[in-house]
Each structure stands twice: as structure tokens, then as C-alpha cells.
């Protein structure tokens, strides 16, 4: 799976977690939906932290990764399969 695909999966999971939370806000009686949404959202954040890492030094690339790693300066190829 490429780094770009890993980013898209983790962001997709975070977005999927937002839907139950929005439903809970619209219908105040569904506290279980809030907890479910928070659980899914934080699972997406954890996946982002675990999967979106520099292929050279292994450090987390952050929420807004750039073309080069902030820690080691290595060029990051987001399309390369690992």
C-alpha cells in the first residue's frame, strides 16, 4: 500500500466517525452514536499516526506532510508501494 493510500484510508475512517457524531447533535437522544463516532474518529487518528511515517527514518510525517521529511530531510515518494 502506498503512503498516499494509507493517508486516504486513515482520513476516510476519521470522516466516517464524524457522521455518527453529527447525527447525535441533530438528534440529542442518541448518546451511543456520539461514543461510536468518537471511537471511529480516534481509530482513524491512531491509524494515521501508525501508518503515515517517513520511509527513511520512520518518524510520523504529521497532519500536513510535505515533500520532504521534517526529521531526516529525505524525499518522500507518496506513490511508491511498500
**pTM for this predicted structure:** 0.80
- Per residue in 42-57, pLDDT tens? 999 999 999 988 888 9
- For 39-58, b where at least 16 C-beta lie within 10 A, e where not — what string? ebbeebbebbeebbbbeeee
pLDDT greater than 80 at residue 13: yes
Q: What are phi and psi of 14, to 5 degrees?
A: -65, -45
Amino acid at each position: 500500500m502506498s503512503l498516499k493510500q494509507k493517508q486516504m484510508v486513515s482520513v476516510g475512517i476519521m470522516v466516517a466517525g464524524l457522521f455518527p457524531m453529527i447525527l447525535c447533535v441533530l438528534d440529542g437522544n442518541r448518546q451511543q452514536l456520539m461514543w461510536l463516532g468518537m471511537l471511529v474518529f480516534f481509530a482513524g487518528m491512531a491509524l494515521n499516526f501508525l501508518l503515515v511515517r517517513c520511509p527513511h527514518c520512520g518518524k510520523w510525517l504529521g497532519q500536513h506532510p510535505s515533500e520532504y521529511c521534517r526529521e531526516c530531510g529525505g524525499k518522500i515518494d507518496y506513490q511508491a508501494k511498500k
